[in-house]
Chains A and B, each alone.
Chain A
Amino acid sequence: MTDIRRQRRGDKGARQAHIGQRVARSGCWRVGSLPLAIVLLCACAWLAFVLWFPKPPPKPDATWLHILESGAFRVGLDPSFPPFESDDATGNLYGLDIALANELAREWSRANETPIHVEFVYSGFDGLYDALKAQQFDAIISALPYDPKKTEDVYFSHAYFNSGPHLIVRADDATTQTYYDLQGKAVGVELGSSGDAFARRWQRRLKLDLRTYHTPTDALRALRAGQVDAVFTDLIAFNDFAQSTGGVKQVGDALANEFLVIAVRKDSPTLLAQINTVIDAMKQDGRMERLYAEWLVK
């Protein structure tokens, strides 16, 4: 082997070693260090941004400020839904929602030491959301059902009433605690109501003997007469019957939730918080129960 050949062979060996090192190094970089470095760099940059540029303070809630300044809380409603909102021949509004709106204003007046009154703005029920968005009023209080699909557009308050079906049994029934206890028993519902829909969902599993009636009152009468073992109906029908006729009682929580809520625009977070504060307080101190007793029982 000549020197030149030996030299060439040596060069080739060195080149191969260099390639091998590059493979090893590049593999090492590819797998671990470079992405980690990028992540760390990004994290540092984000941290620096957050520290050096703190979030600006939230914009003041113009709706709430306007309520305080003007002393007027504008409430949108469709007054065609007793016992929540109706108007009489002279245009006087009455109902649970009216009383609730007035209670909100009264509470805010006291807390802010400034008089606030409610201005009711009429709207068709289907147009309430659009009218709220168009700033024709500050909030919707109109037996409005909670609708998860609307949460992109508005804020909903805490629920102030659950209009879903409840389990009603005879007053002397000590055994029925939940609808699970109704296995094989006769259940009465108003045909087509949400109580009916709930009963049909459970009918096969609980082997319910489902009996439909044209009104919830008919179903409750059948319960009292011993023709059915339980009734699934809402609290308005129950309260009405319990007061006028009696002999029945409500057991447990709602079978299905149908919450009634107040809606405000998304630029009104302070107003929402103020509404929630009052609703929570009313639930705590019994004022809400008194409103139910006043308006939901004939």
Chain B
Amino acid sequence: MGDGVKIRLGALSPIRVWSSRVMRALQVVALVALLYALAAPPPILVTLGPQRIVHTTNPKIGVHTRVTDEVDEWKIKKNFEMVREMGASWVVEYFPWEYIENEEGTFDWSHADLVVNHARRQGLTVIARLGFVPRWARPKDSVTSYLDEARYPAFAHFVTEFARHFEGRVQHIIIWNEPNLNFEWGYRGVDPASYTRMLQAVYPRVKAAVPTAQILAGALAPTLAPPGTPDAMNDLDYLQAMYAAGAREYFDALAIHAYGWTAPADEPPAPRRINFRRAELLREIMLQNGDASKHALITEGGWNDHPRWTKAVHPAERITYTLRAYDLCQAWDWLDACALWAFRYPFPAQSYLDYFTFVTPEFDPKPIYYEVQKYAVR
């Protein structure tokens, strides 16, 4: 057998040897090509799709979405599709400053563009909430809600660039979130005068660059914190203090957080009660300060149906109160939008917060979703 092989191989010509080498080289090339094909990004499967419009009987219905941390484009699109199909026209979305201007002066709009373009393609109006201070704009070891007054110009610059980049796509911009809470104000004592100075730094620059931009102030947390409490300041007192500090000329509309906790939507407002109609008390303060011409937008609010949380209601109550709240909003001529918290979380919060949502992280609609849909297309 060995001799046989020797005889056969011994007759191997140089051409056959070279052809064997060429074949081997071709195999290597084919393998590399295969690996490249496997490693290459897949073709784009998610597109913006055709322009849609929202069919609704109540054009003020809105929700706060949570797609900031959503990576997959199809999920972003699916979120907004479901919002539209529910009959909501408005979405509030968070655009963290640090995500966009991670290095001073360098802006990455890619994810924000993705979010805004998909929302608009579904016929939704986007209200942008801006905050989350990047590392470069705050002292070391400080929290992302800490912004020193010396850095207000940097924030104003970011907001201006945001307004300029999204001109014609995003008109409403909320400046900060719940500044009447200690932890939303960098764990410093809350300071309505300082927040007003933030508005004063932002407003003129944005309006000069994009006159059509609508600057929303406030977005105050409803709280009954007594005077002097280190953790928070009563939202009514805070708004009045903003006016006293000269905020009136530095915002176009008021953002309101209208949580109902355990009270029905219709419960009359009272300074010592947290309920949905507390929004009317904030409106009263606007009127008392000669700001009747300005409108307001509810950018957070609603009810929670966690079985154990002390501020929650039964699921049936949550649905009933929510629909009634949308009705109230429709009747308030000083209110443009009623965006409740929160449409869907990208992942479970594994706490009572999960019971604020309309849709599960897996996109399963909860009964409240269907009831709002039924209400909106009735």
CB distance from B294 to the nearest CB of A (A): 36
> Which of A17, A193, A213 has the most chain B CB within a 10 Å cutoff?
A17
Q: Are B12 and A192 in contact (CB under 8 A)?
A: no
Whole-angstrom distance between the Cβ of B351 and the nearest chain A Cβ: 5
Question: How many A-B residue pairs lie within 8 Å, measured between CB atoms?
Answer: 78
Quick check: is A23 within 8 A (CB to CB) of the other chain?
yes
Q: Are A215 and B9 in contact (CB under 8 A)?
A: no
| B350: contacting residue among A14, A21, A147, A213, CB under 8 A | A147
Contacts of B314 on A, CB cut-off 8 Å? 192, 215
Beta-carbon nearest neighbor of A16 in chain B: B12
Query: How many positions in chain B have a CB within 8 Å of any CB in the partner chain?
Result: 33
Stretch of B199-207, B239-247, B331-339, B363-371 with 4 or more beta carbons under 8 angstroms from chain A: B363-371
Contact of B305 among A16, A192, A212, A213 (CB under 8 A): A192
| B14 CB within 8 Å of chain A | yes
Contact A192/B319 with A125-B309, A126-B351, A197-B367 known, Cβ cut-off 8 Å: yes
Q: Is the CB of B17 within 8 A of A16?
A: yes
Q: Are B352 and A126 in contact (CB under 8 A)?
A: yes
A78 to B8, CA, bound (A): 86
**Interface size bracket, A side:** 20 to 34
Nearest-Cβ distance from residue A189 to partner chain B, whole angstroms: 9
With a cutoff of 8 Å between Cβ atoms, the chain A residues found around residue B317 in the complex are 214
Bound Cα distance from A78 to B371, whole angstroms? 32
Select A13's contact among B10, B307, B319, B371, beta carbons within 8 Å.
B10
Residue of A nearest to B366 (CB): A197
Instruction: State the Cβ distance, B3 to closest chain A Cβ, in Å.
Output: 12
Q: Check A81 for interface membership: any CB of B closer than 8 A.
A: yes
Asked if A196 and B315 sit within 8 Å, CB to CB, the answer is yes
State whether B367 touches A19 (Cβ < 8 A): no
Q: Which residues of B contact A191 (CB under 8 A)?
A: 315-316, 319-320, 367, 371
Interface bits B350-374 vs A (CB < 8 Å: 1, else 0): 1110000000000011111011000
> Would A17 and B319 be within 8 Å (CB), given that A80-B308, A200-B367 are in contact?
no
Q: Which residues of A contact B84 (CB under 8 A)?
A: none
B319 to A: closest C-beta gap in Å: 5
Q: Is the CB of B6 within 8 A of A200?
A: no
Can you list 11 residue pairs at the A/B interface with Cβ under 8 Å? A14-B10, A16-B12, A16-B13, A19-B12, A20-B9, A20-B10, A125-B308, A191-B367, A192-B366, A192-B368, A197-B364
Residues of A participating in the B interface, judged by any CB pair closer than 8 Å: 13-14, 16-17, 19-21, 23-24, 78, 80-81, 125-126, 147, 149-150, 190-193, 196-197, 200, 212-215
Give the 5 A-B residue pairs with the shortest CB-CB distance, closest first.
A192-B315, A20-B9, A191-B316, A17-B10, A125-B308
